[in-house]
Amino acid sequence: MINSRPTSFNDPSCEAGKEIDMSLALPAPDMDRAITRISHEILERNSGSESITLLGIPTRGAHLAARLAAKIEAIEGRAVQCGTLDITLHRDDLRMRPPRALMPTTIPSMGVENRNIILVDDVLFSGRTIRAALDALGEIGRPASVQLAVLIDRGHRQLPIRADYVGKNLPTSLAQIIKVQFTELDGLDAVTLEDGAL
């Protein structure tokens, strides 16, 4: 039986019954794949997990670092050094806003001296957070190298900073708002892109 009804990509009936959320930039399975890929890239670049220390920038960077650490541990079969680095006290925009609450800083047992530090954040935007993180790190010690892993790079850099590992490049306008959600905090894994008022 030949049923040669032509289908078109533009035909809305093809999508009938499916809920497509246009603002969903990275659904949960893709988010997990990106984290898996970044883990492999980190291991490849650093020849294993022995020399690396992951430092997540609270709040969501810290959760992402914990996810990466779990993946790397599963791949390598050994514990990986993972901590958090709060950069609030090193921000350059402190005077432009009301005071912020401080978040925890926990440096893992081996410290930062001569380690390959991987800074982890959820979204790379102006680059100012990373500059502050580099300053904070400099106060603690002298790492062998500092690398940067982010889940989303949304562009609009204001400083000469780039990421070594990127989950997804997401070109945005300044008016748009990127929301990264983690199950631990928000009940689901997702990255969404919303149109905000500029």
Partner 1 sequence: MRHLLSIADLSSTQAIQILDTAEELSRVSDGPMKKLPTLRGRTIVNLFAEDSTRTRISFEAAAKRLSADVINFSAKGSSVSKGESLKDTAQTLQAMGADAVIIRHSASGAAQRLADSQWMTGSVINAGDGTHEHPSQALLDAFTIRKNLVHGGNDLTGIHVAIVGDIIHSRVARSNVLLLTKLGAHVTLVAPPTLLPTGVESWPVAISYDFDSVIGKVDVVMMLRIQLERMSELFFPNAREYSHYFGLNRDRLKMMKPTAIVMHPGPMNRGLEITADSADSARSVILQQVTNGVTVRMAILYLLLAGSQELGVQL
Q: Which residues bind partner 1 (CB under 8 A)?
A: 86, 89-90, 94-107, 135-136, 139-141
CA dihedral of residues 108, 112, 117, 123 (deg, nearest 10): 70
Cβ distance to partner 1 smaller for residue 48 or 108: 108
Looking from the CA of 145 toward its CB, the CA atoms found within 13 Å total: 9
Q: Are 97 and 124 in contact (CB under 8 A)?
A: no
Query: In whole angstroms, how close is the CB of 58 to partner 1 at the nearest point?
Result: 10
Cβ distance to partner 1 smaller for residue 80 or 85: 85
**Look-up of token digits 């925890």:** 104
98 exposure class (CB count in 10 Å sphere: 0-12, 13-18, 19+): exposed
**Look-up of token digits 């650093």:** 46
Q: Are 103 and 84 in contact (CB under 8 A)?
A: yes
Query: In whole angstroms, how close is the CB of 147 to partner 1 at the nearest point?
Result: 20
Query: In whole angstroms, how close is the CB of 141 to partner 1 at the nearest point?
Result: 8
Cβ distance to partner 1 smaller for residue 74 or 144: 144
Query: In whole angstroms, how close is the CB of 17 to partner 1 at the nearest point?
Result: 48
Query: In whole angstroms, how close is the CB of 91 to partner 1 at the nearest point?
Result: 8
Cβ distance to partner 1 smaller for residue 141 or 195: 141
Q: Are 42 and 68 in contact (CB under 8 A)?
A: yes
Cβ distance to partner 1 smaller for residue 107 or 161: 107
Cβ distance to partner 1 smaller for residue 105 or 181: 105
CA dihedral of residues 52, 105, 30, 24 (deg, nearest 10): -150
Query: In whole angstroms, how close is the CB of 120 to partner 1 at the nearest point?
Result: 18
Contacts of 164 (CB under 8 A, 6+ apart): 45, 118, 147, 148, 149
